[in-house]
Structure 1
Amino acid sequence: MTTTLIDLSVDGRKIAGLAAGGDAAGTPLIVALHGGGYGSGYFDVPGHSLLALGEATGFPVFALDRPGYGGSDSLPRGRATFGDSAEVLDAAIGALWTDHGEGRPGVVLLSHSIGSAIAVHVAARRPHWPLLGISLHGVGDRSPEHIISAWRAIPTNGPVELPPEQRRALLYGPAGTIDVEVVEAAKASVEPIPLEEMLEIVGDWPENLAELASKVVVPVQYTLAEYDGLWVVDSSRVATFAGYFTSAPWIEAGLQPGAGHNLDHHRLSRALHLRQLAFAWECAARATAADEYDDRLTGQERHT
């Protein structure tokens, strides 16, 4: 696999990340947004790399460092909200589309955890570039009370580093769902989490989710892992979350057995990534078919 570094300048702000090129005809641009406490390398763990699989199947994949992570500039103090991040990423993805979108049907966002919350914000903005769909996992609408209490009790305004044992307990499923060496390899992409993100994901996010989701007018794929330690997990929560997207033309939603929060690093990661890419392909194919149908209708009108 050939991975290249992304270095974008958008309105004077740097957005960095990783890219892997696939060139199959008809494939959309894939933009991946990582969660809290990881950079773009979250999607490039050896043996579980979304970028490698995307390249192998012909999809161009761009994993962006969200503002404040990796090589990307931080947002100003007091502006590190999901909505502000979405505004910056909206512009960055627009720049990617300008540079790499020629001949492609559009963009599909694949996202994890806090990145999924921000992906909903991006979609709710109804960006000017052609967003075809959003795939969300590692996010929910209700956190366990002990998580809410723990996040709110953190006595600092700076970035937070979760101890390795807490990271293992909250973000990964039980033995048998993961390989120990993969958890170790994933540590290379670990970064501190801005406390603002931790507080927003258990505060404003669940309060604002229904309103935001109602503004999303593209297809949605949603997956919640059985052993996700950051969210209340059961089939009713999956159905409730999917039900917020009242304007989406179609929705795929399911509970993933045998995996934890960092589903991309579990033994079932390949299954997740293949489903995500299949979803992206279907979004692109349906959009292309709809455009061709509209073109035929327009042509008929010109000749009547």
Structure 2
Amino acid sequence: MRRITLEAAGVTLSALLSEPEGTTPRAVVVAVHGGGMNAAYFDGRARPQLSLLTLGARLGYTVLAVDRPGYGHSAAGLPRGQGLADQAATLRAALHDFSSRWDTGAGLFLLAHSYGGKVALTTAAQSGLPDLLGLDISGCGHEYALSPHETPGSHTRGRLRMNWGPLRLYPPDTFATSRSLVEPMPAYERAELDRWPELFRATAPRVRVPVRLTFAEHEAWWRHDETTLTDLAAYFTAAPRLVVDRQPDAGHNISLGWAARSYHLRALSFLEGCLAADEATPARRPASIS
């Protein structure tokens, strides 16, 4: 794993890059972190087997974990961050830069968490991102599960519980090894939290690639009862495939818990399905021999 920077229409983003050894990548997994954390969320240090960057490279994928605008290298130049639409445009420009310099195999697959899921959906709904194979999003729904007096952007004493769930779900040294991945949530994205249910309803119908959504067993930020999930799924009218999954024994921060490897393997299995479908399309089939 190494740190790189990407140029994105005047914004320089930092990222973590892990590549398969001795072979070209089958595809690129673009990991997009949530609010208040940076790209290292996908490189859980509490236990080596929890790292998406390590696992993905071993299975033949390049994994690119990007620090979103307002985090990492770009925090100094964007102290207030960017709103969703601007973040999606910046991410798209950064991925164009990456694709011009690195082999991307069959294409790009966005694997996103929490607020990063909002950015991934917005990016997929916009035009101009070539070779997008699909989306895999955890910890992001369309209806908040909050008390009447709370708003998504409020600071409450229950916020720790909502972000993590029962602490038994995480290796004992998780918090000690995770200090470097925690960063303040920039003001612009915090200001848009309340608007997400409205923005989701306008965004989901414009996503035209396969989508998988995962809700942890102990997810506390989002409603994920069967009625709510049925309503959520109905908005993905243009997606060729939609999977809504549950991850047992996990809290909101799935990729830092004991369930991380299980979740990452499920996500990469969904990517395998996207690759198979892509290979099976008429445009990709080899010409027949007469």
Normalising to structure 1: TM-score of the pair? Answer: 0.85
How far is 1:152 from its partner? 5.1
- Compare 83-92 and 70-79 and name the one that shifted more: 70-79
Gaps of 5+ in 2: none
- 2:40 is matched with 41
Contact 1:121 1:212 in 2 (8 A): yes
Give the alignment of 1:112-261 within 5 angstroms. Answer: 112-146=113-147, 149-151=150-152, 166=158, 168-201=160-193, 203-261=194-252
Q: Which amino acid aligns with 1:184?
A: A
Gaps of 5+ in 1: 155-161
Contact 1:105 1:288 in 2 (8 A): no
Contact 1:33 1:116 in 2 (8 A): yes
How far is 1:174 from its partner? 1.4
Distance 1:185 1:141, change over 3 A: same
Partners of 1:214 and 1:148 in 2: CA distance = 31
1:4 aligns with 2:6: no
Contact 1:226 1:258 in 2 (8 A): yes
How far is 1:282 from its partner? 1.7
1:60-97 per-residue CA deviation (whole Å, 9 max, x = no partner) reads 00000000001125676888211110000011111112
Q: Which amino acid aligns with 1:195?
A: A
Partners of 2:39 and 2:247 in 1: CA distance = 23
The number of aligned residues is 286
How far is 1:241 from its partner? 2.1
1:136-174 per-residue CA deviation (whole Å, 9 max, x = no partner) reads 1111111133387244556xxxxxxx8xx7553121121
Give the alignment of 1:72-151 within 5 angstroms. Answer: 72-73=74-75, 80-101=82-103, 104-146=105-147, 149-151=150-152
1:17 aligns with 2:12: no
1:287 aligns with 2:286: no
Q: Which amino acid aligns with 1:261?
A: H
Partners of 1:288 and 1:237 in 2: CA distance = 34
Q: Identity of aligned pairs, percent?
A: 31
Contact 1:32 1:109 in 2 (8 A): yes
Partners of 1:148 and 1:290 in 2: CA distance = 50
1:178-208 per-residue CA deviation (whole Å, 9 max, x = no partner) reads 222123322220000123323322x221102
Distance 1:264 1:68, change over 3 A: same
RMSD: 2.5
- 2:261 is matched with 270
- 1:159 is matched with none
* Partner of residue 67 from structure 1, selected from 66, 69, 86: 69
Contact 1:67 1:75 in 2 (8 A): no
Q: Which amino acid aligns with 1:95?
A: D
Partners of 2:241 and 2:152 in 1: CA distance = 34
How far is 1:175 from its partner? 4.0
